[in-house]
Chains A and B, each alone.
Chain A
Amino acid sequence: MSKLDAKIPEGPLADKWTNHKNKINLVNPANKRHIDVIVIGTGLAGASAAATLAELGYNVKAFAFQDSPRRAHSIAAQGGINAAKNYQSDGDSVYRLFYDTIKGGDYRSREANVYRLAEVSTSIIDQCVAQGVPFAREYGGLLDNRSFGGVLVSRTFYAKGQTGQQLLLGAYSALSRQISKGKVEMYNRHEMMDIVIVDGKARGVIVRDLITGELERHSAHAVVLASGGYGNVFFLSTNAMGSNVTAAWKAYRRGAFMANPSFTQIHPTCIPVSGDHQSKLTLMSESLRNDGRIWVPKKKEDAEKLQQKRIKPTEIPEEDRDYYLERRYPAFGNLVPRDVASRAAKERCDAGYGVNPTSQAVYLDFADAIMRYGRTEAHVKGIHNPSDDQVRELGKKVIEAKYGNLFQMYEKIQDENPYETPMMIYPAVHYTMGGLWVDYNLMTTVPGLYALGECNFSDHGANRLGASALMQGLADGYFVIPYTIGDYLANDIRTGPISTESQEFEEAEKFVSDQIKHFVNNNGEKSVDYYHKKLGKIMWDKVGMSRSEEGLKAAINEIRALREEFWKNVRVPGSDTGLNTELEKAIRVSDFLELGELMAMDALDRTESCGGHFREESQTPEGEALRKDETFSFVSAYEHKENDPGKSELHKEPLTFENVEVKQRSYK
């Protein structure tokens, strides 16, 4: 019998969530006052969970490593949030959102979870509007929508290119309201260092006060992780500098299974790398692909001239441009899913058609859209026979209203005006679909330990569709965990407060403090960043957009050697008391160095291509990803063993599809 019981409720797909809610245990309001819940992270999932659980009456302690809950990295999400509202009457429905998400995820996610996500998506929009989130509106006063990759309807709600910011500030305001009522105790600048398990259940955490350096013990009846994704294992990613895997990894080391760790999303539209000093990469929202056309030159000599900066892109005539997404995928064109768009960009650049000095960039061109919008505007304004310049000026205004902040961001970084010359973009690590394994209730394999949002694996399979991360974070926090956690906590109404004086807390704290002492006393020679960059390069070259058996095996050996050297030779100046940013980084990187190996192992084991996971050995003659459903229709879930990620034990949760027909994805 597999150790993995997903606890999918009985009944038809569309009734599962309602049936489940009707059957699960509830905790009465008087008892909720005696139950404590810890929430780690205050992004969309964490802030919405903390606020809602507090509202229900639980005593919540929330922790964020940032200086304020409002700064969690959800804030940087740009393009939008999906919901099956069908306000545009363009054929959308809960089923279609479910279907698109399953297909977009390349049939590697659980039907029941994804259906629930689509089902509650509509409530998210209602909720956010009630909270005063200023979504974009049409002139009639109703909410506006736009399209995202991998779908044929307009279901994405947005607030310019700052949708994540507005949704997070909404959740933050709900959280702030509960803090002011004393129902949430907020700990800023506190980072989770370990989970404490008592009698097999998650009963608390060890956290480090990043200002004083002191370790603290906090107990609770349940622990909710909402600590985000682990894209920073690649060093360069679109994640914030502080985004890390430590909370999730410590959970893994304490018995929570890690699912599909190799499933990484490489986002196609990011600003290309400019040099060795680079600390992070910047995303340009996928919404830009609504209007931007992606191209490289048809002729290699043109590409070479561009690489040497001898010509400008605007000098290349229309007939010499290769709009390769439109060419290869006529049905979806520039709006193919992210994994497909990223691989296609890599393919062109590897073939020598890249357009910047590193040959690692393609164009995203708005010239057509500017003229198209301009003509419509001229028509609306009653300007007959407008000149091209007039049309262009009118069109630029429309583009500015839609994407102004993104264009400004691009200009500040690249020092080029994207209204005049096409943007240059290249894929970058953006999101991790993999994460802690959770059941339908979002509980990990450790009783009482939950994982929400990007830190779980649950909804996006092998590739996430655009505008679905915000949807999942808020769905988990506002509408799923408030129900499912009650089912578990109903057994805890007589438990009373959990002591932090137990041997388990003692041991966990000692484990953390020993690790910290090791770092500050190590007197090594190389900085933390030195190792992080080396790890990132191994990951990007061998566990990135394209993976092979040979590369993955080499990566595993290289990461193991690097990890050993890191522990011997890393240098952390300063002490374990007071603020020490190098120490914070050392702890995070030590976990990335273990995670990297597990990611490579998982990628090696899965000899099919699916979604963002592309194995060179598994492709069609045309170079498209080739899935192998007979062998790989399962979730990989790893169990930590013997203090060594290399010895992790693989468990498989079979995936069954009863409501969709499984086929090879085609966007042609």
Chain B
Amino acid sequence: MKLHLKIWRQNGPQDKGKMVDYDINDVSPDMSFLEMLDVLNESLVAKNEEPIAFDHDCREGICGTCSLFINGEAHGPDRAVTTCQLHMRKFKDGDTIYIEPWRAKAFPVIKDLMVDRSAFDRIIQAGGYVSVNTSGNTLDANAIPIPKHDADRSFDAAACIGCGACVATCKNASAMLFVSAKVSQFSLLPQGKVEAKQRALNMVKQMDEEGFGNCTNTGACEVECPKEISLENIARLNREYLSAALVE
């Protein structure tokens, strides 16, 4: 396949940045999207140009590092995949593809397609944990039975990979899906219930401080989420938050 690429180039946070055109030939439909970019980068290096910077690591859809906005969609046109799992067979010969970084105030661009998502780390640091020490001196793992249904739903929420597609997709750049997934994972388990209220308050406070927008229930985040994290989690977070705020 031959493709026309329009890729965002930005040489550092202060640079204004612009879309740059690239043509690429001999793209195999079996390539992953990032392998296509690898090939483009090899050709840039061959011309002694700086390759396009993009984040990626595991290339199997679990580390959450890759992050491209492709033709106006987070992680591209396929559903329930990250960019690294997107394959070129989803495109046609002669297509023009727009490739941009995540765009959100709380995710400043570092270079080209790479953004800084450390705001997510700080939200987790504000309460995304159960406050137990790691000594191992605790109850036997089977001491508290947990209904399978609850454990499964907790797992579904915990499957979030922290890629930020929800934020990039949301017109308000809200991080509610991310925050609610973590809050839900714990509030569905007896181990996490103990601090559930404080956790919701602290994480939401940090989310607001980081400059993420408000949730207006458009549901776009759920559609674009590569791990299909459910909107139900946002409803659960709202419940936790409201009941905690009432007590405050």
Give the B-binding residues of A (Cβ under 8 A): 48, 51-52, 55, 66-71, 73, 75-76, 85, 87, 120, 123-132, 134-143, 159-160, 162, 164-166, 169, 172-174, 176-177, 179-180, 186, 188, 211, 238, 240-242, 274-275, 277-280, 282-283, 408-409, 412-413, 415, 478-479, 527, 529, 571, 573-574, 578-582
Contact = CB atoms under 8 A, between A and B. Distances in A.
Contact of A134 (B32, B38, B48, B154): B154
B120 interface: yes
Interface residues of B, number: 79
Interface of B: 12, 28, 30-32, 34-36, 38-39, 42, 44-46, 48-51, 53, 55-65, 78, 80-81, 85, 87, 89, 110-111, 114, 116-118, 120-121, 124-126, 128-136, 138-142, 144-148, 151-152, 154-155, 158-159, 161-162, 185-186, 189, 191-192
Contacts of A188: 118, 121
Contacts of A415: 87, 89
A179 B125 contact: yes
B116 A67 contact: yes
Given A68-B121, A136-B151, A173-B129, A75 B31 contact: no
Contacts of B192: 132
Given A68-B121, A571-B48, A574-B50, A138 B148 contact: yes
A134 B30 contact: no
Given A130-B138, A274-B30, 6 more contacts: A48-B134, A129-B144, A130-B139, A143-B141, A176-B129, A571-B45
B92 to A, nearest CB: 15
Contact of A174 (B55, B134, B145, B159): B134
A162 B136 contact: no
Contact of A582 (B45, B131, B144): B45
A87 B142 contact: yes
A134 B63 contact: no
Nearest to B112: A579
Nearest to A130: B138
Given A579-B111, A581-B51, A134 B151 contact: yes
Contacts of B148: 137-139, 141
B80 A408 contact: yes
A120 B134 CA distance: 13
A177 B145 contact: no
Contact of B124 (A76, A127, A173): A173
B133 A55 contact: yes
B134 to A, nearest CB: 5
Contacts of A282: 59-60
A540 to B, nearest CB: 18
Contacts of A177: 125, 129, 131
Contacts of B185: 132, 134
Q: Which 5 A-B pairs have the closest CB atoms?
A: A141-B145, A123-B136, A173-B129, A134-B155, A180-B125
Contact of B62 (A69, A75, A412): A75
A136 B154 CA distance: 10
Nearest to B114: A579
B81 A412 contact: yes
A127 B134 contact: yes
Given A71-B65, A176-B129, A279 B35 contact: yes
A412 B85 contact: yes
Contact of A529 (B28, B42, B59, B189): B42
Contacts of B138: 126-127, 129-130
Contacts of B114: 579
12 contacts: A71-B63, A76-B63, A126-B138, A127-B135, A132-B191, A143-B142, A177-B125, A179-B121, A241-B59, A413-B87, A573-B51, A574-B50
Contacts, number: 220
Contacts of A479: 136
Nearest to A53: B134
A177 B128 CA distance: 8
Contacts of A159: 155, 158
Contacts of B140: 126
A51 B155 contact: no
A48 B136 CA distance: 12
B136 A126 contact: yes
Nearest to A142: B142
Contacts of B28: 275, 277
Given A68-B121, A126-B139, A165 B159 contact: yes
A75 B134 CA distance: 19
B151 A135 contact: yes
Contacts of A70: 64, 121, 124, 162
A499 B12 CA distance: 33
Contact of B111 (A48, A51, A238, A578): A578
B136 A478 contact: yes
Contacts of B141: 85, 125-126, 128-129, 135, 143
Contacts of B151: 134-137, 141
B57 A68 contact: no
A621 to B, nearest CB: 40
B22 to A, nearest CB: 16
A127 B36 CA distance: 42
A76 B82 CA distance: 14
Contacts of B60: 76, 238, 280, 282-283, 409
Contacts of A275: 28, 30-31
Contacts of A573: 44-45, 48-51
Most chain A CB within 10 A, of B31, B140, B144, B155, is at: B155
B59 A166 contact: no
Contacts of B139: 126, 129-130
Contacts of B65: 66-67, 71
Contacts of B30: 274-275, 277
Contact of B59 (A124, A277, A280, A580): A280
Contact of B158 (A85, A87, A169, A179): A169
Given A131-B130, A177-B129, A275-B30, A76 B58 contact: yes
A241 B129 contact: no
A160 B155 contact: yes
A527 B38 CA distance: 12
A626 to B, nearest CB: 36
A64 B51 CA distance: 23
B127 to A, nearest CB: 8
Contacts of B58: 71, 73, 75-76, 240-241
B64 A412 contact: no
A379 B58 CA distance: 41
Given A68-B118, A73-B63, A527 B42 contact: yes
A160 B143 CA distance: 22
A85 B142 CA distance: 10
Contacts of B85: 409, 412-413
Nearest to A71: B63
Nearest to A173: B129
A165 B82 CA distance: 15
Nearest to B159: A162
A165 B125 CA distance: 18
B136 A67 contact: no
Nearest to B47: A573
Most chain A CB within 10 A, of B36, B116, B124, B132, is at: B124
